[in-house]
Structure 1
Amino acid sequence: MLVLAARKPASFHIERSAVIAAPPEAVFPHLNDFRLWAAWSPWEKLDPSMQKTYGGPSSGVGSTYAWSGDSKAGEGKMTILESRPSTFLSLRLEFLKPFPATNTVTYTLAQKAGGTEITWAMDGENPFMGKVFSVFFNMDDLIGKDFEKGLADLKRVSEATGP
């Protein structure tokens, strides 16, 4: 098992895309303001009593969102690093519990016929314990399912609110 783990890549990339029947201007605000994530983020529903703290500006660069919840939700913090209205958002995702990790998350939006193509990606380092975990579980499948659910809910919310 340790040999298999040692052969796993030192970094990871997880990505999913969807098309939303709304313009980028209708989608982007749901990403750029952490207070709006409750309507679409798949992780918001893990622990109904999760403690949430918002900091910095209400949206855009420097905006922060910290959470502390049960063993399913864990504990962590997100910080918006780059915000290009209606086209791109980048954030630092810091997990504190159950396992410490820091990843980069990006959302790329592109105007397409009939709406917006959105790509949600996460990149990070794969430490040894992550490599061991990946011997038994496919992280792309596990996290990818959450991305797919989140994109479906973001689609629902964005199409309902319109331009």
Structure 2
Amino acid sequence: MKSFRSRLFVLATFFLVFPFFLRRRPRVEQRITILARPSSIFPFLNDLRNWPLWTVWGQREEIDYEYGDVTAGEGAVQCWANSRMSGLLRITKSESDERIDYELEIGDGAYQLVGRIELQPDGACTRLVWKCAWDLAQNPYRRYFDLLMRWMMRRDYAAGLENLKTLVESSDKPQEVAA
């Protein structure tokens, strides 16, 4: 019995102390290389109407999208809602064939995230880097939630980038001419 109490005490101490050593500003970063020039990829990123084609969020459940007057480039806005929550995606900076910066607000601004997608040309290929960060976790125990969010977002970003790679590489291939 004494051994059980000792183990329980060590475990409880670990869970109480561990979050103080976790990153305070959570970040996620995923990379992929696509066999296409940045000019072939950029329209899928810069026009928010194209995001549902490659992101994975709409594949899990139905999402309703609405767009502002501007749908591509700086100032483009996408409002979305599903059965559990709603949000707003806004492109804050757009540099043609180089990068886009965006803000994402979820739950009427309760959660905010800033992100960037960079395109780095490398010969016939392009390296894509998709990264984001969100607000500081002042409460150390909220960092457990941030751990879960980082895991989920890494998974979603990786799947979305794979979808984008498939979409771009299949649409970038030259059409065969029937003889």
Query: Is 1:86 the counterpart of 2:100 in the alignment?
Result: no
Quote the Cα distance in structure 1 between the aligned partners of 2:111 and 2:55: 19
Instruction: Work out the number of aligned pairs and report it.
Output: 157
TM-score (norm 2): 0.79
Runs (4+) off by over 2 Å:
1-10, 126-130, 137-142
- Of residues 65, 73, 82, the one that matches 1:69 is 82
Q: Distance in 2 between matches of 1:31 and 1:151?
A: 11
Q: Is the 8 A contact 1:9 1:126 kept in 2?
A: no
Aligned-pair identity (%): 23
Deviations 1:124-146 (A, max 9, x none): 12433641424xx4443321111
| Structure 1 residue 148, shift from structure 2 partner | 0.6
Q: Where is the strand percentage greater, Structure 1 or Structure 2?
A: 1
Letter in 2 for 1:84: E
Query: C-alpha distance in 2, partners of 1:94/1:14?
Result: 16
**Long gaps (5+) in structure 2:** 1-14, 174-179
Amino acid at match of 2:55: S
Report the Cα distance in structure 2 between the residues aligned to 1:9 and 1:148, rounded to whole angstroms: 21
> Would the aligned equivalents of 1:2 and 1:132 in 2 still touch at CA under 8 Å?
no
Tell me, yes or no, if the aligned pair for 2:71 and 2:78 is still in contact at 8 Å: no
C-alpha RMSD of matched pairs (Å): 2.0
Picking from 115, 121, 129, the partner of 2:125 is 115
Q: Which residue of structure 2 lines up, in the alignment, with residue 26 of structure 1? A: 40
**Higher share in helix:** 2
**Where does the alignment leave 5 or more consecutive residues of structure 1 unmatched?**
none
When residues 2 and 66 of structure 1 are mapped into structure 2, their CA distance, relative to the original with a 3 A threshold, is farther
Q: Distance in 2 between matches of 1:57 and 1:133?
A: 34
3-state secondary structure, aligned to 1:155: helix
How far is the alpha carbon of 1:39 from its aligned partner? 1.1
Hey, what's the Cα distance between the residues in 1 that align with 2:29 and 2:144? 21
Q: Which has the higher contact order (CA 8 A, sep 6+)?
A: 1
How far, CA to CA, are the matches of 2:16 and 2:88 in structure 1? 31
Q: Does 1:131 align with 2:150?
A: no
